[in-house]
Structure 1
């Protein structure tokens, strides 16, 4: 329902007549959502037909183009799509999975091939978000903008995604199926994607091992200077793939693909690998290895060295650096891979507890295993952030700090160890000044490490270095092109930089890739709210799956819409249901309502209790009314932000 005094968007739908039965329910859903929909069923025929079409296109806020096997051959649809594209108002969808025609393949489209008419379907949520964002999201960042199915946390971390709450769960299910990346191949020659190795063991429980080997190969290849290695989440979109090498390479932005399989029977391994050149689709090198588990480290190094030699024509000068797996003890390595699989599953406290037990087992087998110490620290920090009661936090943080420090003592050049030490320092006491040297060290050691780039980008942005944060997240996007979280993250930084229209487009892009993405709807709502787009902002807040963010947004937008009882009800429910865990969110609302003293009280209480959200205080636009207050300045100084 569109509130009184507000209007929905004017939408023009371009489609082929043969698809009329698929378009009818779509126009109905969009009309019921409060939008004004123009399509040729509403336009009179005769001599004025073309003029009516042109007038409708000029008036439209968004041009929705429905590609299909029929419409790609229609000159009318192509002309209408060109009009929307040239005005920056294009929102493409595909009714049957058909790819757009040449000239439109650089734009994201939403896959409606499985839509059955429900207004609550994820396809509609993605479309509504794209409409709110205004349309025309390109499939890859433009050149002038550039200067783990497992792991939400494997690339950005759950804690990095906290936008004022205590947890974040991303539904990555839409992914490549709902958002296709297409484009000309122009990847640098020193770029490679390691596709997830197939588990041929006949036992699904062994997937942790084949996935772990894939990730280890990424790490080893990334250690070689000058190599660009596609990140895990994007690479894992092509698990059990049927696409050709050119399609995969274009999507991931790489020149080479390393594919493979693992068969494990007890202590016996058969590892098969194939190096494929994307440009030609030809196999450059392939090899099978029959080994015992005790030889796993030597096999990994041999594969990495052979791949590097095949691509560069040179034998790595320091092959010893490829042996940096962290342990030479097979039992420790196997336990570590199990732990990382549990951790990356991101399925709740039980998985994190199992991960912790696995990392403990790895350390028991090899006390000098730096990677296991670092992952143990990260897991403890997640347990503290998401599940532990207040009376256990101090002990958990102390334990995590000990493991993080041990990791960097054992491996002083291990970027991830320094990253975890920075995270523990930051999240245990919100001390940015103390944490900064550790983040800087991680970034120096791992400038092309996707995970390091993501976490460093967040740290830079939240300390007010927004341009630096945006540059870092753009480098991460280049490594992780199919991960919707990276686009959401860039949108968040743009929002904090008060570039609200650009931010809204990025949030819409992330939602088109993964319609159920947690926090993306509310982030879009905040960006639209700051532009005065109250109707669209409210719709985005209503669609947000995280209740804390939803209530916060509704309290803000309903106040702007003069619906004060509803706004007050949302704030009261936020405080009553979630208590002190939402003090930061409550402060945002109170600051915008002009209740300055209450907002500052909430922030100071949050600081004393070390509750989530405060990390954004320096750059959050919703807190702008407090910036001239001495109490607010003291808060920022105490956190090392001024």
Structure 2
């Protein structure tokens, strides 16, 4: 019995089957590589590579059978003659070591299989969140071609609505409005825009509005060479604007050769309002809310309310209100017990109207995190949000903040980097990237995104402050002073960031100056987490813990971030600090 495997191997070699297998496998790999290279330039369907692989596998079986039966000789193709001496050959070679050629052939076969496997099976499965370069797009603001040139916001709204529709396609990476619209009014080559945003395709267009008549032109352009892949012109009544947006979105998906799931097409064509003016009010409010300044938050609330006056069942209006109310305690110092009930009521109404909108679950997760300290509930809501709308950058941004709060820094970085991939020129998302790196004690990595934030928005709240803290950790005192001074200049309240000046003095050894700042903060009854950080830095642990415990009793939103702030490192292991972490539910 032991002779049989060896006999079979010898017969395979005699009939040259092994050589045929190696040659066929090598040729197959070359063919698959060639298909992979030409697939994008020739716009081949996504399934082409796998179809060729199946055909090659089928041909492999046929080739092996034929190579066993026939042999190629100088006289042509002849049937291989059976041998009676195989057993005798086996006896002679049984005690011999394997030949080098046998080993080389085996290694070559293994290498070809190893190289081919990831090319075929792992192309789109190595990471469930990874999206093909080919399936990436930015929608630029549509140009206003109207005679009076007074339809700019209408044009922006149309482009933004197409963005929102496309984000519902799971495998399509769609750049968010903030980044795509940063090129508005600039005469920049499509290749440059593609490189800046990291996308393979751009959708651009124009709108001409005359009375109740619309002429909308859209065209899809490949960024690598500027080639036009598709274009269409729509001449419709103004009341058909939502239908035009849906048709453009569906045409883009078709041109990119993507197959829509039923639920994806349903979400693309799902209309949340038929009131164009209500929709425009919402878009104005959302755009202003993204600036994150106190006055802007209140202005956005007014726009969301106006949208709801025009359509009381417009779910996005309630979602906008919920987001704005939830941001008030952090950016406008509004008491939590005043702002959060309004946020809860707004998001409850939104979900009552429509529970299939991803943005609503993102807002729900944010409120559960900030207002309820319900970490599991927040994670569940964020998971639902990215499931319903995989292209919504804000959902990943807030999801990342949740993980940072929980001290899960690797997961936090993964989420906020996903948000950055979808919205690379967003000031707030770049700032959050810096926040997470800072909280991870990666100060060098934190500096670049914070600087990028300030290039995009020079007075982005907390950006100068966090950059100052990074410089401080690196003992770059002049730079730290400069950044915290700029933060104070940008903010209404000059006391903002005063504790950072105290921390700078502590690290420089100027303890008396730091104590003066702490005394000033106490005199003004400033008892936030920043003041607590300064207390701990000065060794005033009892004062620091009293502030944190009072923040916990008052359900102060800023106390939930103490799990990750570096300036709490010197007290993090103390039982009193750990008890506070457990009370918050972050243990």
TM-score, structure 1 as length reference:
0.64
- In structure 1, C-alpha distance between the alignment counterparts of 2:368 and 2:260, rounded to whole Å: 40
Aligned residue in 2 for 1:401: 344
Aligned residue in 2 for 1:284: 229
Which residue of the other structure, out of 160, 168, 192, is the alignment partner of 1:215?
160
Contact 1:191–1:256, Cα closer than 8 Å, also in 2: yes
> Structure 1 residues 525 and 376, CA, compared in 2 at 3 Å: closer, same or farther?
closer
Aligned residue in 1 for 2:272: 326
Count of aligned pairs between the two proteins: 454
Q: Post-superposition shift, 1:326? A: 1.3
Which residue of the other structure, out of 243, 246, 257, is the alignment partner of 2:202?
257
Which residue of the other structure, out of 326, 339, 364, is the alignment partner of 1:421?
364
Contact 1:529–1:537, Cα closer than 8 Å, also in 2: yes
- In structure 2, C-alpha distance between the alignment counterparts of 1:498 and 1:378, rounded to whole Å: 29
> Structure 1 residues 369 and 487, CA, compared in 2 at 3 Å: closer, same or farther?
closer
Aligned residue in 2 for 1:373: 318
Q: Post-superposition shift, 1:511? A: 4.5
> Structure 1 residues 346 and 556, CA, compared in 2 at 3 Å: closer, same or farther?
closer
- In structure 2, C-alpha distance between the alignment counterparts of 1:623 and 1:544, rounded to whole Å: 22
Contact 1:583–1:605, Cα closer than 8 Å, also in 2: no
- In structure 1, C-alpha distance between the alignment counterparts of 2:257 and 2:208, rounded to whole Å: 29
- In structure 1, C-alpha distance between the alignment counterparts of 2:421 and 2:473, rounded to whole Å: 29
Residues 208-217 or 591-600, more deviating: 208-217
- 1:422-478 deviation digits (Å, cap 9, x = unpaired): 222332344435433323322343343211111111111111110001111222222
Does 2:510 correspond to 1:569? no
Contact 2:141–2:156, Cα closer than 8 Å, also in 1: yes
> Structure 1 residues 457 and 298, CA, compared in 2 at 3 Å: closer, same or farther?
same
- In structure 2, C-alpha distance between the alignment counterparts of 1:342 and 1:428, rounded to whole Å: 23
- Give secondary structure in 1 for the equivalent of 2:183: coil
Which residue of the other structure, out of 227, 233, 239, is the alignment partner of 2:184?
239
Aligned residue in 2 for 1:410: 353
Aligned residue in 2 for 1:336: 282
Does 2:447 correspond to 1:504? yes
Contact 2:371–2:557, Cα closer than 8 Å, also in 1: no
- 1:241-290 deviation digits (Å, cap 9, x = unpaired): 21111111111111111112233445433322221111221222222323
Contact 1:431–1:639, Cα closer than 8 Å, also in 2: no
Q: Post-superposition shift, 1:315? A: 7.7
Contact 2:500–2:530, Cα closer than 8 Å, also in 1: no
- Give secondary structure in 1 for the equivalent of 2:218: strand
Does 2:504 correspond to 1:557? yes
Which residue of the other structure, out of 433, 439, 445, is the alignment partner of 1:490?
433
Runs of 5+ unmatched residues, structure 1: 1-145, 148-185
Q: Post-superposition shift, 1:527? A: 2.5
- Give secondary structure in 2 for the equivalent of 1:290: strand
> Structure 1 residues 334 and 447, CA, compared in 2 at 3 Å: closer, same or farther?
closer
Aligned residue in 2 for 1:311: 256
- In structure 2, C-alpha distance between the alignment counterparts of 1:279 and 1:328, rounded to whole Å: 38
- In structure 2, C-alpha distance between the alignment counterparts of 1:358 and 1:487, rounded to whole Å: 26
Looking at both structures, which has the greater relative contact order when contacts are Cα pairs under 8 Å and sequence separation is at least 6?
1
Residues 400-409 or 293-302, more deviating: 400-409
> Structure 1 residues 354 and 595, CA, compared in 2 at 3 Å: closer, same or farther?
closer
Does 2:569 correspond to 1:624? yes
Contact 1:217–1:300, Cα closer than 8 Å, also in 2: yes
Residues 363-372 or 246-255, more deviating: 363-372
Runs of 5+ unmatched residues, structure 2: 1-125
Q: Post-superposition shift, 1:482? A: 2.8
- In structure 1, C-alpha distance between the alignment counterparts of 2:320 and 2:455, rounded to whole Å: 32
Residues 200-209 or 248-257, more deviating: 200-209
Q: Post-superposition shift, 1:385? A: 4.6
Q: How does 1:96-245 map to 2 (within 5 A)?
A: 188-201=133-146, 206-245=151-190
- In structure 1, C-alpha distance between the alignment counterparts of 2:577 and 2:148, rounded to whole Å: 57
> Structure 1 residues 333 and 306, CA, compared in 2 at 3 Å: closer, same or farther?
same
Contact 1:273–1:288, Cα closer than 8 Å, also in 2: yes
Aligned residue in 2 for 1:477: 420
- Give secondary structure in 1 for the equivalent of 2:404: helix
Q: How does 1:15-164 map to 2 (within 5 A)?
A: none
- Bigger Rg, structure 1 or 2: 2
> Structure 1 residues 516 and 407, CA, compared in 2 at 3 Å: closer, same or farther?
closer
